[in-house]
Chains A and B, each alone.
Chain A
Amino acid sequence: MPKMDYIDAIRLAMKEEMELDENVFVLGEDVGYKGGVFTTTKGLLTQFGEERVLDTPLAESAIVGVAIGAAMYGMKPIAEMQYSDFMFPATNQIISEAAKIRYRSNNDWDCPLVIRAPIGGGIFGGLYHSQCPESVFFGTPGLKIVAPYTAYDAKGLLKAAVRDPDPVIFFENKKCYKLVSGDVPEDDYIVPIGEANVLREGDDITVISYSLPLHFIMEAAEELESEGITAHVLDLRSLQPLDKDGILAAARRTGKVLIIHEDNKFGGIGAEVSAIIAEEMLYELDAPIMRLCGPDVPAMPINPPGEKFFMLNKDKVKEAMKKLALY
């Protein structure tokens, strides 16, 4: 099985789906001849032509809005937002339109759209090339949201998103593009949307997370094991719908839960995960639910000390895991 970078797995998913279904096409800024500012769509134009790998005017609401129209006709567009920081002009199209098309038409129309958007910091991108906007879209019924961490999931979830009959936001982590690699089958497979995945089994604490922070969590878990603490690590993979059964099973495994994400703490995904656990199994817990998240500031600064302070890392994660283990 070939080992592949996260970004190459994303590209492969698009290539395979475009080969399988001529209605699948990619549109966005710089996706064509340049192959994307991160090279995510590199080579696709050569293979599929400029009509199916469409360089658009710089206007995010149109990129999503036009994709919605094409999707309602029966196409399967993959709309790229260059950075998730720049997707807010398209928010009305995503929340008022894509998310509600099936519902408001009483199932007469549908919107099989994928919106890919790179999230996350740690690249000296400053306030507007580093954000994690999951919480803005989270809690919008009608949308599905996925955020893969492994290269395997990046390919499988993107293929599932393309085939999904409803709009899916695919939050890919730009720091993971080259940092994360792993075994990715070259055959056709999908990772079902809505299923969390246990990355590591353990008995002392449960850590629930998604996207880049899992990289730090897995490193920390490795170190903690040599210190006699074993961590059970759950990768949510899908943020909407959340895998409620998977979350509860993981929490029950140890009775001690730490939720970690880079998006800021207040009103984040962790709040909902925490509430699910509290509603269903409060008296089975051996410690208060803990959260380790980005600080509640508007976004991370570009100066290195400031960015480092905002970002999670192995040491911060390890400290929080240890604190919970010792509770």
Chain B
Amino acid sequence: MTQSESAVTQSRHAALGLTDEQAIEMYKLMNTARKYDERCLILQRAGKIKFHVSGIGQEAAQVGAAFALDRDQDYYLPYYRDYAFVLSVGMTLRELMLCLFSKIDDPNSGGRQMPGHFGSKRLRIVTGSSPVTTQVPHAVGFALAAKMKKKNFVSFVTFGDGSSNQGDFHEGANFAGVHKLPVIFMCENNQYAISVPLHKQVSGKIADRALGYGFPGVAVDGNDPLEVYRVMKEARQRAANGEGPTLVEAVMYRLSPHSTSDEDLAYRTKEEVDAHRDKDGIPKYKQYLIDCGIWDEEREAVMQHEIKAALDDATSFGDKAPFPAPEDILKHVYADDAAQGEGGR
């Protein structure tokens, strides 16, 4: 093979600067998140845990985005479906299970918050809440700090299509546009805000909203991790160059109900869900790796076995870990808890 022929047949991931190992790592993370999510649904149905909010169908975009960031210094403000994202930036299955089971050693909140409310200073995952979109101005604040302190980090924030209607999205995006701040906004457009479909939420395109704030908005196939990686890599470069924010709209489909408390067939059909299951990013990416000659069924079996073993370990670890002591709820209201007063005690 001549050199020019080699360039023509170069794989997509190699053309984007990703090694084979990285391309495979992305696939493993997508699968790990999917299997984690499925395990959570089973645990909830079995009565082992109270609640799970699923990210099934959104893993490809999350992993693609994470790999485009500088995972040694960037700050992340993920939303509650970003299991694949947080796994990609260093959270472990054991830590996710401690969170799921609300145990004291949960790094996200010490068993205080619902699962999916991520946070870990060690991993630069900024604590989040349930009222949606409040994290967007926070991400802008981190980006403002980067600019003021002349640091090279970028802040990255995700949110759903429903959140793109909240004032905090618009206020945060406008602020970041005016001050040309190093922040990347990624809307995970999964077509539903719980039960309300996109066409009842948004009459234009979410990506186009960036135009009004003076920075680029890009819609991308959220089922294609390499395409998300490419767009995100450009966005990060713009941010690092001082060119300001980018809005990425990753278009995808929420294959699971909103949460374990949701009956989704009340507002959508099984046919619709099945049609989107055929577009699932994970099997498509698997086929891509096989076509590249760097993956096969044998390796697939080994990987699935390893994920199952890790999940079994993490589930047991989370299940057996201790809860916080009841009176721990009184702690950490303020830095000095003496300031708290004695109300209710």
A-contact 0/1 string along B316-331, CB 8 Å cutoff: 0000000000000001
A102-B141 contact, Cβ under 8 Å, with A61-B168, A62-B172, A109-B126: no
- Distance A106 CA – B107 CA, assembled complex (angstroms): 8
Most buried by A among B113, B143, B148: B148
A75-B145 contact, Cβ under 8 Å, with A65-B172, A69-B139, A104-B117: yes
**A242: chain B residues within 8 A (beta carbon):** 341
Q: Which of B108, B111, B141, B333 contacts A103 (CB 8 A)?
A: B333
B155–chain A nearest beta-carbon distance, Å: 8
Is A265's CB within 8 Å of the partner chain B?
no
**A73: chain B residues within 8 A (beta carbon):** 75, 141-142, 145
Q: Which of B107, B336, B339, B340 contacts A108 (CB 8 A)?
A: B107
Which chain A residues in 168-217 approach chain B with CB under 8 Å?
Answer: 193-194
**A109: chain B residues within 8 A (beta carbon):** 119, 121, 126-127
Evaluate contact between B333 and A93: CB separation under 8 angstroms. no
B128–chain A nearest beta-carbon distance, Å: 9
Is A267's CB within 8 Å of the partner chain B?
no
Q: Which of A96, A102, A194 contacts B332 (CB 8 A)?
A: A102
Evaluate contact between A241 and B340: CB separation under 8 angstroms. yes
B323–chain A nearest beta-carbon distance, Å: 13
Is B131's CB within 8 Å of the partner chain A?
yes
**B167: chain A residues within 8 A (beta carbon):** 59, 61, 89
Evaluate contact between A106 and B145: CB separation under 8 angstroms. no
Is A142's CB within 8 Å of the partner chain B?
yes
Q: What is the chain B residue whose CB lies nearest that of A238? A: B339
Is B314's CB within 8 Å of the partner chain A?
no
- Distance A208 CA – B108 CA, assembled complex (angstroms): 43
Most buried by A among B109, B117, B126, B331: B126
A32–chain B nearest beta-carbon distance, Å: 13
Q: Which of B75, B140, B339 contacts A194 (CB 8 A)?
A: B339
- Distance A199 CA – B129 CA, assembled complex (angstroms): 42
**A241: chain B residues within 8 A (beta carbon):** 339-341
**B111: chain A residues within 8 A (beta carbon):** 106
Which chain B residues in 128-186 approach chain A with CB under 8 Å?
Answer: 129, 131, 134, 136-145, 147-149, 155, 167-168, 171-172, 174-175, 178
Evaluate contact between B127 and A96: CB separation under 8 angstroms. no
Q: What is the chain B residue whose CB lies nearest that of A105? A: B127
A141-B333 contact, Cβ under 8 Å, with A61-B168, A65-B172, A97-B129: yes
Evaluate contact between B138 and A75: CB separation under 8 angstroms. no
Q: Which of B141, B145, B171 contacts A57 (CB 8 A)?
A: B171
Is A56's CB within 8 Å of the partner chain B?
yes
Contacts beyond the supplied A72-B142, A105-B121: 18 A-B pairs with Cβ under 8 Å: A51-B148, A56-B175, A62-B174, A66-B141, A69-B137, A69-B141, A69-B142, A69-B145, A70-B145, A73-B145, A74-B145, A92-B168, A106-B332, A107-B110, A108-B119, A108-B121, A165-B336, A193-B339
List 10 A-B pairs, Cβ < 8 Å. Answer: A56-B175, A62-B140, A66-B172, A96-B129, A104-B127, A105-B108, A105-B121, A106-B109, A106-B332, A166-B334
Residues of B within 8 A of A (CB): 75, 106-113, 117, 119-121, 126-127, 129, 131, 134, 136-145, 147-149, 155, 167-168, 171-172, 174-175, 178, 331-336, 339-343
